[in-house]
Amino acid sequence: MRFLATASKGLEEVVAGELRALGLSVLDVAPGLVAFKGRMEDGWRACLWLRAGRRVLLPLGSFEAPDADALYEGAKALPWDEFLAADRTFAVEAAVRDSAFNHSGYVALRVKDAIADALRERRGARPDVDRRDPDVRIVVHIARTRADVSLDCSGGPLHKRGYRIKPVAAALNETLAAGILLLGGYDGTVPMADPFCGSGTLCIEAALMATRTAPGLLRAEPFGFERWPAFEPQAWRAIFKEAEGALRDAPAPILGSDVDGSAVAAASANAERAGMDRWIRLKRRDARDFSAPAGPAGLIAANPPYGDHAGAGEDLAGLYSAFGDALKRRCPGWRALLLTGDGTLAKAIGLRPKRKIPLFNGPMPVKLLEFEMYEGTRRGSGGGAGEAVERDARPE
């Protein structure tokens, strides 16, 4: 079977790496999509384990749809009776790009009609529509004249882990947070710290990795495939039990801090809800006063405020400069991953990044900057990338 894992732009290779780590064969990596193959149970396993993936889809068919009639006929011909029964509900969501269709709602309506008519003709009855909580979610994507129709195995976005009970302003999406850590090579065996922890997403995702907790183990709602007529509970229980058997204690400390006491309280509540509170140490502290803990060097990962994202009205340039100074002077040997949507603020840190990775925080383009800290200036480097410099970063 062929599956599609959707991903935020910039995280496609991360998701491909996750799938390969699960022993699955990656077929193709394209913008926003990673195609892989496996048995039906492998699609279930991907839903359970993917950290940076957004959804897992099972393609049903692809056909030319230059107009509404072609869309209806193409959708009607798909094998709906294999996945839908009269006693199940369904919903259709659609997206269009560079197409003659200018309204995604109309596309969803035509496909819904095609499904209902097909099942009525083949079985004498049709399932009901439930837009809020359907048993089967159907995803339609039309690019120019090509329509792709898939079933949503995950049953909604995978970032909804279920632990964020106390949100804060401009909170980081869970899949993006996991993607940042995976881009940085984090595997839980070294200390991790977030000096701008907010609601604790980076710390919680780090703890899930460190303890080898599959994100799907936290999910309260069933996955989409669990409500399909052909679902096999016994096979799913075996996959779930296998994931539970992989759990371990966190090998290294995970530290979170924030100047906002209410954010620290939110992070604490969220960590407890995720069952990760025993592995995460949280405290109220200004990032300008941050210093790495004694012991082995590790990873700093943070989503500091940037303009419209958060922190409007603050002296953000001064904050970035002071935080950069803290990194240079008090975090020798550590690496830092900082997400920012403002290039001017990034330069205010006073460090030259080793890597700049373009990503998206929702619809907003951002960059993930990686820094390596050395004691003072790295001698003999000729000002190489990643150097902790005692001057402003050079213009790009």
Determine the average pLDDT of the residues in 34-46: 98
In this model, does residue 325 exceed pLDDT 50? yes
CA angle 201, 207, 208 (to 5 degrees): 90
Whole-angstrom CA distances from 163 to 91, 187, 274, 278, 343 are 26, 21, 5, 15, 32
- Residue limits of CATH 3.40.50.150 in the chain: 174-213+250-372
In this model, does residue 259 exceed pLDDT 60? yes
CATH classification code of 174-213+250-372: 3.40.50.150
Q: What is the pLDDT of residue 138?
A: 97
pLDDT tens readout for residues 86-99: 889 999 999 999 99
Which of the pair, 389 or 51, is modelled with greater confidence? 51
In this model, does residue 363 exceed pLDDT 80? yes
DSSP E strands, the chain: 2-6, 25-30, 33-37, 55-64, 89-97, 128-129, 136-143, 146-152, 192-194, 254-258, 280-284, 299-302, 335-340, 355-361, 364-372
Question: Please, which pLDDT band fits residue 384 given cuts at 50, 70 and 90?
Answer: very low
Determine the average pLDDT of the residues in 339-347: 92
Determine the average pLDDT of the residues in 267-281: 97
Determine the average pLDDT of the residues in 38-57: 98
281 forms beta bridges with: 255
- The percent of residues above 90 in pLDDT, for the chain, comes to 84
- Residue limits of CATH 3.30.2130.30 in the chain: 2-152
Q: What is the pLDDT of residue 111?
A: 98
Is 2-152 a CATH 3.20.20.140 domain? no
Q: What is the pLDDT of residue 395?
A: 34
In this model, does residue 265 exceed pLDDT 70? yes
Determine the average pLDDT of the residues in 168-197: 95
The whole-chain average pLDDT of the chain stands at 92
Q: Are 25 and 44 in contact (CB under 8 A)?
A: no
CA quadruple 370, 375, 381, 382: dihedral sign: positive
pLDDT tens readout for residues 130-165: 999 999 999 999 999 999 999 999 998 999 999 999
In this model, does residue 357 exceed pLDDT 70? yes
Determine the average pLDDT of the residues in 105-134: 94
